[in-house]
Amino acid sequence: MRAFLAPILALATVLISLSVVYCGFPAGLLSLERAFPPARHVQLEALRARDRLRHGRILQTVTGGVVDFPVLGSSDPYLVGLYFTKVKLGSPPREFSVQIDTGSDILWVTCNSCNDCPQSSGLGIQLNSYDAASSSTAGLIPCSHPMCTSEVQTSAARCSPESNQCGYSFQYGDGSGTSGHYVSDSLYFDMIMGQSVTTNVSATIVFGCSTDQSGDLAKTDKAVDGIFGFGQGDLSVISQLSSRGITPKVFSHCLKGDGNGGGILVLGEILEPSIVYSPLVPSQPHYNLNLQSIAVSGQPLPIDSAAFETSNNRGTIVDSGTTLAYLVEEAYDPFVSAITASVSQSVTPTIAKGNQCYLVFTSISDIFPQVSLNFAGGASMVLKPGEYLVHLGFQEGAALWCIGFQKVQGGVTILGDLVLKDKIVVYDLAHQRLGWANYDCSLSVNVSVTSGKDEFVNAGQLNVCSSSRDMLFKTLLIGISALLMHAMVLMEFQFL
């Protein structure tokens, strides 16, 4: 009888061990690093120039786990902010550095036959090119493919009868552009599945293979291998993966605003009790919110709400790729006037290179007021002084702080890293909403991979066991109980 019970008890021990291991898994921390030396300061005009290029890149037309993408870049407004990640494509996989872009949808990388493409990068990274002929899993997208005939995609897809390939041609507002053709191939990524368990996963996706680049895309100073579109369109990678249940249809970031920068980026919903949500404006290609009013020290500014209404050329966009922040003229002038009036007795207002600045002899947090951006749904984004001011050095023995918001004469209000830093920001595409909360981005976060209750800690340990894990645990206990009951019945037969 002992010989019979031994394997049953051994199996029970293994099953219990497995259930315990499955219960306590951490997700990996996605570290963000600077792409530029911390000592390299730049002027406001340089930051504005960089943002103009960034805004030009917003196209004029058009059940898995936590996915761990390594992220590099800078969120410091003193530096030229640029975030990029590394993706692995093809079989065998080849690594590409691609800029993270929430203003466009398509992932595209440089083809090996690309004309006038950079051969080196000022970012100190090795540039690679994609060769479909070298990948055993590559496939071309023919003209008959639905994405090439769909009315929704006509602005981003076109047919080349000579080659029977579905091609694309993107022209950006800064004059740069890229053209090429679509391919399908394997995307390889790490998915956090359990304690110290990272599973290598691959999924077939459609992406662009760039055969021509022009304008700033062809320059070497900030050259990367392509652009990773994080928009809402059907061809964005997050849409392709979530439509098959591989990842949730939500991604989040938390960018550190001090020190060496850094932060967290996950494909999943960061969970934090203080997060407030505002609905995304429907039928918009970008992350548009309905900004309703602005208050300084709790006092609403005299701004016509029509200044923020969404139309073809107006509205409010959240864009983590923009370094500063931009306000339409109707809101900018009252905003600056209210800030200046609030601090005029404690600082010396001055103009520096056309910017409203202040000479400050003490901490800005002791003098400058809080600013509230009030959105639809009752959600407010409260800005501390360091989230609307930028430090431009010293003058006459005082610190020179300037308004970080830039004036836009007609057009779109854009909330960039200046206001997004030190906050959890959740892009919940499944529920068409965007959420945020002030947060210390050096801490760990809880991430849900199903927009439900499957919670993970992104930097160390499990916070709440997932429902799927609980189901497995219960199933294992039932199995163990059945085995033990079977053993007891056999023992009773032996004693009869």
Given 76, 319, 417, 428, which residue is catalytic?
A: 319
Q: What does the alpha-carbon distance between residue 440 and residue 272 come to, in Å, rounded to a whole number?
A: 12
> Can 190 be counted among the known catalytic residues?
no
Q: What does the alpha-carbon distance between residue 272 and residue 176 come to, in Å, rounded to a whole number?
A: 40
CA distances from 198 to 29, 251, 370 (A): 12, 19, 42
**Torsion sign across C-alpha atoms 253, 80, 288, 357:** positive
CA distances from 124 to 97, 221, 222, 223, 282 (A): 11, 9, 9, 9, 40
Do 29 and 444 meet the contact criterion of CB atoms below 8 Å apart? Answer: yes
> Can 101 be counted among the known catalytic residues?
yes
Given 76, 101, 225, 428, which residue is catalytic?
A: 101
Give which of 197, 268, 246 is closest to 446, Cα–Cα: 268
Residue 478 tokens read as 């039932």
Residue with tokens 């917003």: 58
Do 250 and 256 meet the contact criterion of CB atoms below 8 Å apart? Answer: no
Q: Phi and psi for 262 in degrees, rounded to 5?
A: 100, -170
Residue 205 tokens read as 């996706």
Question: What residues are paired with 97 via a beta bridge?
Answer: 86
Residue 234 tokens read as 């059907």
E-strand stretches of 90-176? 94-101, 107-115, 139-140, 158-160, 165-171
Q: Which are the catalytic amino acids?
A: 101, 319
